[in-house]
């Protein structure tokens, strides 16, 4: 129980994380790896 009555509206204000400046957010992320849809390739990418 989070103490929020059923039917309530909840608002989340996010500040200071670069989300209001998409160019900054995009500049900070790494490009995800592109791998084959293959179990062995997935294991190799994860170092397993």
HSE (side-chain half, CA atoms, 13 Å) at 42: 3
**C-alpha–C-alpha distance, residues 21 and 27, integer Å:** 10
pLDDT computed for residue 20 by the predictor: 73
What average pLDDT does this structure show over 25-41? Answer: 87
The per-residue pLDDT for range 3-20, each reduced to its tens digit, is 888 899 999 877 766 667
């Amino acid at each position: 129980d989070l103490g929020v009555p059923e039917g309530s509206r909840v608002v989340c204000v996010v500040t200071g994380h670069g989300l209001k400046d998409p160019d900054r957010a995009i500049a900070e992320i790494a490009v995800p790896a592109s791998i084959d849809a293959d179990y062995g390739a997935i294991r190799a990418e994860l170092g397993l």
